[in-house]
């Protein structure tokens, strides 16, 4: 057993010593997790605000489940290559309404427009039963249109 431990230590040391100084630095973990988490949250909020709203909404479905409902939204961006689609809730003062914007990140490279079918994005959001009891209207916003649905 002692031989296995020594052999493991030797292999580990040899493997680490073959790494360049740059790769060793990139493996270092942050010391102050609070600072990193705060910075990451602020950057994430900023990125979500900058994400463009999808050009056109095609369909909205609300499928009931025992835990609440699954909101399914289909949108069509202006070109192929949009990614990371998400429903972003818009703050409003009326607690009986939920308002979402359908957003997606644009492609990094220029893509062809393509057909509507090839550009279609589908996003789902789960709404809990507790929250759904208070809701009278759910609205999803795109650039060119909006669709509302009653639960």
Q: What's the half-sphere exposure (Cβ side, CA atoms, 13 Å) at 106? A: 13
Residue 138 pLDDT greater than 90, yes or no: yes
- The answer to whether the CB of 141 falls within 8 A of the CB of 103 is no
Compute the distance between CA of residue 118 and CA of residue 107 in angstroms, rounded to an integer: 14
User: Stretch 69-98: mean pLDDT, rounded?
Assistant: 94
Predicted pLDDT at 145 = 96
3-state secondary structure of 115: coil
* Highest averaged pLDDT of the listed ranges 36-40, 105-109, 117-121: 117-121
Query: Whole-number mean pLDDT of the chain?
Result: 78
Compute the distance between CA of residue 63 and CA of residue 122 in angstroms, rounded to an integer: 14
Of the pLDDT bands very low, low, confident and very high (cuts 50, 70, 90), residue 111 is confident
Residue 69 pLDDT greater than 90, yes or no: yes
3-state secondary structure of 12: helix
For the beta carbon of residue 69, count every other beta carbon within 10 angstroms.
Answer: 20
Residue 125 pLDDT greater than 70, yes or no: yes
Of the pLDDT bands very low, low, confident and very high (cuts 50, 70, 90), residue 15 is very low
3-state secondary structure of 62: strand
Predicted pLDDT at 113 = 85
Buried b (16+ CB within 10 A) or exposed e, 90-101: eeeeeeeebbbb
Pairwise pLDDT comparison (101 vs 36), residue with the higher score: 101
Compute the distance between CA of residue 78 and CA of residue 114 in angstroms, rounded to an integer: 9
| CA-to-CA dists, residue 49 to 25, 43, 74, 107, 117, angstroms | 33, 10, 20, 17, 27
pLDDT digits 0-9 by tens, 41-52: 555 555 556 789
pTM of the model: 0.67
């Amino acid at each position: 057993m002692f031989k296995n431990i020594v052999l493991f230590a030797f292999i580990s040391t040899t493997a680490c010593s073959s790494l360049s100084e740059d790769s060793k630095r990139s493996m270092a973990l942050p010391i102050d997790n609070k600072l990193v988490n705060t910075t990451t949250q602020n950057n994430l909020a900023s990125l979500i605000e900058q994400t463009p709203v999808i050009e056109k909404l095609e369909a909205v479905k609300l499928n009931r489940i025992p835990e609440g409902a699954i909101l399914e939204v289909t949108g069509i961006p202006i070109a192929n290559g949009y990614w990371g689609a998400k429903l972003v809730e818009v703050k409003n003062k009326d607690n009986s309404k939920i308002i979402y914007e359908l957003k997606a990140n644009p492609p990094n490279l220029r893509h062809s427009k393509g057909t509507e079918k090839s550009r279609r994005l589908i996003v789902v959001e789960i709404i809990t039963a507790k929250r759904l009891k208070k809701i009278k209207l759910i609205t999803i916003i795109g650039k060119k249109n909006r669709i509302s649905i009653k639960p």
